[in-house]
């Protein structure tokens, strides 16, 4: 698991148990659209609150599955920016379309992470309920449509517009706020020192079975890329990933 994904999960779990039987703390930290000007900190604090075990479980398991690979690509600073911008965008869209509905939960931020995952790996299969495969890009499209319909029909006690705001925030970060990331990554790759036989030999000795499942999948993906397009196609992030695990 990557550093900031782990820290965010720990922070969410700790705050969940702190606020579990503390309604005054929960009330002070939740986002209430009508109080946005007098309680601006709730644009951030609401992301760390959850209404029950199921709520926090599904948010954290999503962060666990989608977050690490995205953090490896973006780096910690960019990953946090995407996360919090998505969460804030979720609150603001709820403010616009559901001004009377208080919201809690990391869902807006998590949806931004999902959007980021689909942006970099659009054809990656996601197994719904562990059974039904769907490409990441179509998962985002489907969840967007569901959130739009459910939001306007006011179905369930779910902040549907916060979910849409999360997608919007993630998109704005990747396409507007930090649009040069892909270009920067390509330029960095071009200036990366040439890879020699010693590097390939060292990478081949990485103990795959000792890696976390997420890192194992990333390792497999990188080796498949080397096989298909050669070592010269690796980005600096991918080489740094291999270097990190080959020295452990």
Asked if 131 and 65 count as a contact pair (C-beta separation under 8 A), the reply is: no
* 226/46 Cα distance (integer angstroms): 43
Asked if 43 and 91 count as a contact pair (C-beta separation under 8 A), the reply is: yes
Q: Is the pLDDT of residue 206 over 90?
A: no
150 a catalytic residue: no
* Residues 12-40 pLDDT 10s: 999 999 998 888 999 999 999 889 999 99
Return the structure tokens found at 199: 């590097």
Q: What is the pLDDT of residue 143?
A: 80
pLDDT, the chain, mean: 83
Extents of the domains making up the chain = 3-179, 191-246
Asked if 163 and 106 count as a contact pair (C-beta separation under 8 A), the reply is: no
Asked if 65 and 118 count as a contact pair (C-beta separation under 8 A), the reply is: no
132-135 vs 125-128, strand pairing mode: antiparallel
CATH superfamily of the 3-179 domain = Rhomboid-like (1.20.1540.10)
Phi first, then psi: what are they for 118, rounded to 5°? -65, -30
Phi first, then psi: what are they for 182, rounded to 5°? -60, -45
94 a catalytic residue: no
* 35/31 Cα distance (integer angstroms): 8
Which residue of the set 163, 191, 212, 236 is catalytic? 163
Q: What is the pLDDT of residue 183?
A: 46
* Residues 67-126 pLDDT 10s: 998 998 888 999 999 999 999 999 999 888 888 888 999 999 999 999 999 998 888 888
Helix (H, G, I), strand (E, B) or coil at 99: coil
Nearest to 8 by CA among 133, 103, 96, 112: 112
213: CB partners within 8 A, 6+ apart: none
Q: What is the pLDDT of residue 188?
A: 47
Q: How many CB atoms lie within 10 A of CB 181?
A: 16
What's the rounded mean pLDDT across residues 33-60?
A: 93
Which residue of the set 86, 94, 107, 147 is catalytic? 107
Asked if 41 and 114 count as a contact pair (C-beta separation under 8 A), the reply is: no
């Amino acid at each position: 698991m990557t550093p900031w994904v782990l820290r965010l999960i720990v922070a969410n779990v700790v705050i969940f148990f702190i606020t579990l039987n503390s309604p005054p703390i929960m009330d002070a930290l939740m986002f209430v659209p009508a109080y946005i000007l007098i309680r601006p900190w709730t644009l951030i604090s609401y992301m760390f609150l959850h209404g029950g075990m199921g709520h926090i479980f599904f948010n954290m398991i999503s962060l666990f599955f989608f977050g690490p690979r995205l953090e490896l690509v973006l780096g910690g600073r960019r990953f946090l920016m995407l996360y919090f911008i998505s969460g804030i965008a979720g609150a603001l869209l709820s403010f616009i379309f559901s001004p009377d509905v208080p919201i809690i939960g990391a869902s807006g931020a998590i949806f931004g992470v999902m959007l980021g995952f689909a942006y970099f790996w659009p054809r990656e299969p996601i197994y719904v309920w562990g059974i039904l495969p769907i490409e990441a890009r179509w998962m985002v499209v489907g969840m967007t449509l569901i959130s739009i319909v459910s939001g306007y029909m006011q179905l369930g006690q779910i902040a549907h517009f916060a979910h849409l705001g999360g997608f919007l925030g993630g998109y704005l970060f990747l396409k507007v706020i930090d649009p040069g990331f892909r270009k920067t990554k390509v330029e960095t790759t071009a200036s990366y020192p040439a890879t020699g036989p010693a590097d390939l030999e060292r990478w081949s000795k990485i103990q795959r079975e000792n890696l976390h499942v997420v890192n194992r999948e990333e390792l497999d993906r990188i080796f498949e890329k080397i096989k298909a397009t050669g070592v010269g196609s690796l980005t600096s992030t991918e080489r740094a990933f291999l270097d990190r695990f080959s020295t452990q």
